[in-house]
Chain A
Amino acid sequence: MLKTLVKASAAAALALALAPALGAGTASAYEITVPSMDYRTGPYAPNGIPFANGWTDWWTLLNERDGGINGVKIKVVPCETAYNTKKGVECYEKTKNVGESGAVLYQPLSTGITYQLIPKVSKDKIPLHSMGYGRTSAANGRIFKWIFNFPATYWSQASALVKYIGEREGGMDKLKGKKIYLVYHNSAYGKEPIRTLQALAKKHGFIYRGLPVDHPGQEQKATWLQIRRERPDWILMWGWGVMNQVAIKEAASIRFPMDHFIGVWWSGSENDVKPAGAAAKGYLSGAFHAAGANFKAHKDILKYVYDRGKAVDPAFRNRVGEVLYNRGLVAAMWASEAIRTAMKIHNTKKVRGVHVRDGFENLNVDEARLKELGLEGFTIPVKVTCANHEGPGLVAVQQWDGKQWKIVSKFYEPDREVVGALIKEDSEKYAKENNIKPRDCK
């Protein structure tokens, strides 16, 4: 008797718990579903949290301040990937059909997950924006119809950073015989720039050498011992998560000059430099947007999102404006502009993934538009076309001055001759392996 009672009440409790989940689907107004592939746990959480907050806060801002995009509310669906590929795939399958619109775009923030999703989104007709990460050759829009990787790829970035080094050395011809080493995360992500650096080494005559660091990157003693012995002139780093701060600390401990140590733009946030303290001062990294919270949009976020208690992570208030927060913000900004463009092109408010893809492909966020969005001077103007999914491909260098990140260089144009040829070769190989016929771009 008692047992039956316990069972019955357990069943009732379960039913009650599940009821709101089942009822949520019946909302009347059309909502656009935007998944948020977070990683707030695991070894990459220090980087995943600010990005996820920036990404989510932008959508909340649009909902709170403007009532959504052209009156259509955005429904952000979070899913925890822990930077794990298998979980990422599960998240994708779980979120792709949520709501009436279904997921309209993906931003996985993981090169590994991006590789998994490239074939899947192409079939499900949902655009994938791997903003400055993922598969570089997806820049070729004729072959990768559903994938976008603007504002720049890893290969453009590697080339831009080499140009910066050339400028600091007093000309590209001065690179001859210089030693430029790459410390990289031993994964698809970290290996991306190798090919470009090899091609550039051949072209400019510098000595290139790659030093892999295995996941998660806490153990780098051997790597830095080697660096201490061979004393390269410059070090580039393709790192992520805990690997970044360990590398910067190790570099400081062998007294490697910080202003000759350049990270990829995923290795240049507050989390990466702060643990090394004052020793990190002068460290450089790639960038395509500014740091700081002195923009109108940030003030709006504090006012409409944090003050109203709508923030996904209220404790984050004092960190709004960190590099990776701003990166999540800029990603969401471009995505929201793509949705807006899609609404305009298709003249409908009920946009789905197919429409948003066209929105991405016709995206044009120029300086005037950035000003309207309250982000004047925040980032570079982006224009995407059918054939070019990389957009501008411009990369600047930012420096940590001990307190904050500041952009210290101009925006560099990559070496199109080298990068373009590599993109063509790699994307065509992919097309051949997967029987994809390149589409025409008029």
Chain B
Amino acid sequence: MLYREAGQFKTSYAADQAIFPIPQDRYMLAGILAIAFGVVPFVLNDYWVNAILLPFLIYALAAIGLNILTGYCGQVSLGTGAFLAVGAYSSYKLMTGFPEMNMLVVFALAGLITAAVGLLFGLPSLRIKGFYLAVATLAAQFFIIWLFYKVPWFFNYNATGQITVPPRDLFGFRLTGPEAVPAVRYLVTLSIVAVLALAAKNMARGHVGRAWMAIRDMDIAAELIGIRPLRTKLLAFAVSSFYIGVAGAMMFAIYLGAAESGETFGIQQSFDVLFMIIIGGLGTVLGGFLGAAFLVLLPIGLEAVLVEGLGLSTNFAEHVKLILLGSLIIFFLIVEPHGLARLWQITKEKLRLWPFPH
């Protein structure tokens, strides 16, 4: 009833090509953004920012990045942890090497450096496909993490190989370091994620995204209709790595404040982000957000219910949580193999007919 499109007429090409052609979608998105920008900054506290909002947003960005490569272009990657690390370490080197540099420039450059590294490791994708490519990116994961342990230049010759973020301002507000204002950290992260998510959505609808999807669906056919596999695949690697690099830089500079290559960006990280897009939905931008919410917010919510609500001991709750999360993942994959985003799409279709489905 609320979601019915009947009577909505489009009178121009622009209206027909809009990102969100249905007004209800637009209103809802505007509403979410208004709450995220206008209300949340005034009610949040340290816990909400550090434990919930920042990890959610940053992982969502990383998931969008991986989704570009895996979901849209069909190239499986297990190197996400390493690319996050490249983003983090390049932002660290930029911040300590050029203390005056604007933080937005730092994030952009960290993204570009990661894009370059991603391009390099994307080269094998021209020759190898599927599982074999996954193994090649796995090599990237181990090699890059090892490199950040081995070469002391990357961590400024610290005794321990840990990198710690120096305090930096953005437009006069403290953004990084212990004195950072929670609302500023949240707003900066939110803005970057919102802009990049919008860009991803646009890219995916345009000729670039269509080329990616053509490669994904059948690369020989795509080549026959004039899509250059080399350029398209490498572009996907570059764009995806850019997103992941920015996410890594923000993960280090804004969210964690200190990092260590193997501990923070290990192989587990690659799997987590991969699970996010599989659960969230391959080849959708919304899936990145839903998947991140599922894997970041659900465990915290479950723990709150189990420990504070039901009074279970923390270690028992931890085990129950693992069991529940695992079963939920299996449940969702059986019920909806195309992910939560698909579930949302079905809901939307049902809503269009509701309450008179016949």
Q: Which residues of A contact B (CB under 8 A)?
A: 14, 17-18, 20-21, 38, 40-41, 78-80, 82, 85-86, 89-90, 93-94, 96-97, 111-112, 115-116, 118-120, 122-123, 135-137, 186-189, 191-192, 194-195, 212, 214-215, 312, 422, 426, 430, 433-435
Closest CB of chain A to B165's CB: distance in Å?
8
A38 to B50, Cβ gap below 8 A?
Answer: no
A94 to B159, Cβ gap below 8 A?
Answer: no
Closest CB of chain A to B269's CB: distance in Å?
10
A186 to B149, Cβ gap below 8 A?
Answer: yes
What is the total number of residues of chain B having a CB less than 8 Å from a CB of chain A? Answer: 38
Q: Other than A116-B256, A187-B260, give 20 A-B pairs with Cβ distance below 8 A.
A: A14-B309, A17-B305, A38-B314, A41-B318, A82-B318, A90-B51, A90-B300, A93-B46, A94-B51, A112-B263, A115-B260, A120-B257, A123-B179, A186-B149, A189-B160, A192-B159, A192-B160, A212-B149, A215-B263, A434-B177
Known: A188-B162, A192-B159. A433 touches B96 (CB 8 A): yes
Could you tell me the distance between the alpha carbons of A82 and B319 in the complex, rounded to whole angstroms? 11
- A-B contact list, 11 entries, CB within 8 Å: A41-B318, A78-B314, A80-B318, A89-B50, A97-B47, A115-B164, A116-B257, A119-B177, A123-B179, A188-B161, A434-B166
Interface contact tally, CB-CB below 8 A: 107
A426 to B318, Cβ gap below 8 A?
Answer: no
Could you tell me the distance between the alpha carbons of A170 and B258 in the complex, rounded to whole angstroms? 43
4 closest A-B pairs by CB: A40-B315, A119-B178, A188-B160, A123-B178
Q: Is B280 on the interface with A (CB-CB < 8 A)?
A: no
Choose one: B50, B263, B315, B319; the contact of A187 (CB below 8 Å).
B263
Enumerate chain B residues within 8 angstroms of A21, measured Cβ to Cβ: 308-309
Enumerate chain A residues within 8 angstroms of B166, measured Cβ to Cβ: 433-434
Closest CB of chain B to A95's CB: distance in Å?
10
Known: A119-B164, A191-B159, A192-B160. A89 touches B177 (CB 8 A): no
Q: Which of B297-352 contact A (CB under 8 A)?
A: 300, 303, 305, 308-311, 313-315, 317-319
B159 to A136, Cβ gap below 8 A?
Answer: yes
Enumerate chain B residues within 8 angstroms of A191, measured Cβ to Cβ: 159-161
Enumerate chain B residues within 8 angstroms of A430, measured Cβ to Cβ: 164
Residue of A nearest to B314 (CB): A80
Enumerate chain B residues within 8 angstroms of A17, measured Cβ to Cβ: 305, 309-310
Enumerate chain A residues within 8 angstroms of B300, measured Cβ to Cβ: 90
Q: Is B167 on the interface with A (CB-CB < 8 A)?
A: yes
Best-buried of B178, B266, B300, B310 by chain A (most CB within 10 Å): B178
Enumerate chain A residues within 8 angstroms of B74, measured Cβ to Cβ: none
Enumerate chain B residues within 8 angstroms of A40, measured Cβ to Cβ: 314-315, 318
Could you tell me the distance between the alpha carbons of A116 and B263 in the complex, rounded to whole angstroms? 12
Known: A115-B258, A116-B258. A94 touches B315 (CB 8 A): no
Choose one: A79, A85, A426; the contact of B159 (CB below 8 Å).
A426
Residue of B nearest to A48 (CB): B315
Could you tell me the distance between the alpha carbons of A82 and B263 in the complex, rounded to whole angstroms? 13
B51 to A93, Cβ gap below 8 A?
Answer: yes
Q: Is B55 on the interface with A (CB-CB < 8 A)?
A: yes
Best-buried of B47, B256, B310, B315 by chain A (most CB within 10 Å): B315
Q: Which of B141-176 contact A (CB under 8 A)?
A: 149, 159-162, 164, 166-167
Closest CB of chain B to A86's CB: distance in Å?
7
Best-buried of B51, B263, B266 by chain A (most CB within 10 Å): B263
Best-buried of B262, B311, B318 by chain A (most CB within 10 Å): B318
A94 to B47, Cβ gap below 8 A?
Answer: yes
Q: Is B232 on the interface with A (CB-CB < 8 A)?
A: no
